[in-house]
Chains A and B, each alone.
Chain A
Amino acid sequence: MSIPTEKRPVLEIRNLTQNFGGLRAVSDFNIQLMPGELSGLIGPNGAGKTTVFNLVSGFYQPSEGAILIDGVPTGGLKPHKVTALGVARTFQNIRLWNEMTVLDNIRVAQHYRLGYGFFHSAVRSKRYMRREAEIAREAAELLDIFHLTQYADEFPKNLPYGTQRKLEIARALSIHPKLLLLDEPAAGLNSSDIQELIRLIRWIHEMFAVTIWMIEHQMDVIMQLCTRIKVIDFGETIAEGNPEEICNHPAVITAYLGDDTI
């Protein structure tokens, strides 16, 4: 009994709980993301948002509950296997390989996706040459559509912060994900960079037809982009809904601004 593809969620999380020693970082978390959705995850600092992302990308194994990518349970899978299911992500503090060129940053991940064995690269087989050309072409295309071609031979650390963010997103897309996790993409950006980021994410969402789930503190970004938002605090889900509902939700206001009653 299988659910038709178009109805099957790209990401399904059931009763997810994560304990670190005595600390319950995530508690009974549930979500379903349908293909093409652009959804937000917000909450005060230390609410457990990044922990949820680390669980989804396989970096932690959940204490309880299940995570399904396109119907496939990820329990027990190593991060690189989860990636192979089509999950890509960016990081709160940019994690580019600073001592490799911009182009190589993109090629590394592609090398694995378009794999060929060691033997082929040693003898420069036809298959190797064809793959290599394919990788080079795809990387060039990706840089081109992100307007990063002029930086191809630069080192990421020499680029402006906003451009590094863009490169990190481009690198994540190089593995052709079904689900893109963005962990605070607007962190550290100035207001004009943020407007560009909003346009960029909207464009990626359409252009790559990818499901996007993002953590963000900039309400501007969340409210303009996301159709559905989930709010967590101390690991617990406290609210869920569209931007307007979230803005006026009493529990959200309390979580962010504190309780007025003395």
Chain B
Amino acid sequence: MENLVQNIINALQWGSFYALIALGYTLVYGVLTLINFAHGDVFMVGAYIAFFSATFLLTTLGLPGWIALALCIPVTMILTAMVGVTLERIAYRPLRNKGAHRLYVVITALMCGLILEHANLAIFGASRKAFPQLIAEHVYTIGGVTFTNLKIAVIATAFLAFLFLHWMVTRTRVGMAMRAISYDKFAVPLLGIPLDRIIVVTFILGSGFAGLAGLLFAMSYPVLEPYMGALIGWKAFIAAVVGGIGDIRGAFLGGFLLGAVEIMVVAFFPSTFRDLIAFTVLLLILTWKPTGLFGIAKTTKI
């Protein structure tokens, strides 16, 4: 019993990272039907931005840890959002304006991801970076179940991010416009809604939360390397697809589902089985429901 509760907490924490990254995939896909394969690397860039700003605030300015953290969160989110918007501006928008087929934009996204990875490698080298400790980690034990303040913060952040984005999409005018674009892009500007501006907002939201995920990930697993975003990005993408890509609830649930499956596999099998079994389960879910848990099959009128 204790073991199960412990595993659930671990799964929620692990799934939080997938959920936060999957939200960015699903937002961009929902609005542009673009699979932004650079998104995992935007997460990596976010972790590095967090690393540099945390080091600067702690070491150079000598601020106390919690103040550094309080500053680090907005700085990381804003700078990472700018990276996402820059990709949109210099890589995706020119293609969109030329009416390029979606496939070319997806390939461009893949290349952008590789560029981010290897630019990082070229500039900062292959050596791993150790993330400084911002706040002291407290370990709580309640009836044999242990958790840390950081774990709780990670889970709470994922839930708050979800609630915020859900509110944003369903209750604000930008969100309404985002939904309208996802249903029919063509009619949107002809009703007076600025298409490019809405797309920029989408990238700000997605990349901002990827940056936040990068910061939390670096605090939880304080070793940074240029390829850290690749695998977790792929997995978050798969989580978004399993949840039903384009739907915020789907991304959130898919992220936690993947987290849960991975943790549970490790609890009962050797850890080398983790990805094999996890992806087999996801494959079965997709075979049963190819549009994902929350996805609706798009029908094309002929």
Contact = CB atoms under 8 A, between A and B. Distances in A.
Contacts of A57: 190
A69 to B, nearest CB: 13
Interface stretch (B66-74, B168-176, B232-240, B286-294): B168-176
A104 interface: yes
A16 to B, nearest CB: 18
A174 B187 CA distance: 14
Contact of A112 (B172, B187, B192, B296): B192
Contacts of B265: none
A95 to B, nearest CB: 4
Contacts of A95: 184, 186-187
Nearest to B296: A99
A58 B6 CA distance: 59
A132 to B, nearest CB: 10
A115 B173 CA distance: 9
Contacts of A152: none
B191 interface: yes
Contacts of B187: 91, 95-97
A59 B190 contact: yes
B189 interface: yes
B94 interface: no
Contact of B172 (A84, A89, A118, A174): A118
Nearest to B174: A118
A178 interface: no
A107 interface: yes
Contacts of B179: 97, 99-100
B183 A98 contact: yes
Nearest to B179: A100
A98 B298 CA distance: 11
Nearest to B298: A99
Contacts of A88: 190-191
Interface string B156-199: 00000000000000011110110110011011111111111000
A27 B173 CA distance: 40
Contacts of B188: 80
Contacts of A80: 188-195
Interface string A79-120: 110011000110100011111100010011101110110100
Q: Is the interface of B mostly helix, strand, loop or mixed?
A: helix
A49 interface: no
A121 interface: yes
A171 interface: yes
B190 A89 contact: yes
B189 A97 contact: no
Interface in A115-163: 115-116, 118, 121-122
Contacts of B190: 57-59, 79-80, 83, 88-89
A185 B135 CA distance: 64
Contacts of A89: 190
Contacts of B180: 97, 100, 108
A97 B179 CA distance: 9
Identify the interface centre among B171, B176, B186: most chain A CB within 10 Å of its CB: B176
B194 to A, nearest CB: 5
A175 B191 contact: yes
A121 B172 contact: yes
A249 interface: no
Nearest to A181: B190
A14 interface: no
B189 A112 contact: no
Given A79-B189, A112-B191, A99 B183 contact: yes
A57 B191 CA distance: 10
26 contacts: A57-B190, A58-B190, A59-B190, A78-B195, A78-B196, A80-B194, A83-B189, A88-B190, A89-B190, A91-B186, A95-B186, A95-B187, A97-B180, A97-B184, A98-B184, A99-B183, A99-B296, A100-B180, A104-B176, A108-B191, A109-B192, A113-B192, A115-B173, A116-B173, A171-B191, A175-B191
Closest A-B pairs by Cβ, 7 of them:
A79-B189, A111-B173, A83-B192, A109-B191, A97-B183, A95-B187, A80-B189
Given A88-B190, A99-B183, 11 more contacts: A57-B190, A59-B190, A80-B189, A80-B192, A83-B192, A84-B192, A99-B179, A100-B180, A111-B173, A111-B176, A122-B172
Interface of A: 57-59, 78-80, 83-84, 88-89, 91, 95-100, 104, 107-109, 111-113, 115-116, 118, 121-122, 171-172, 174-175
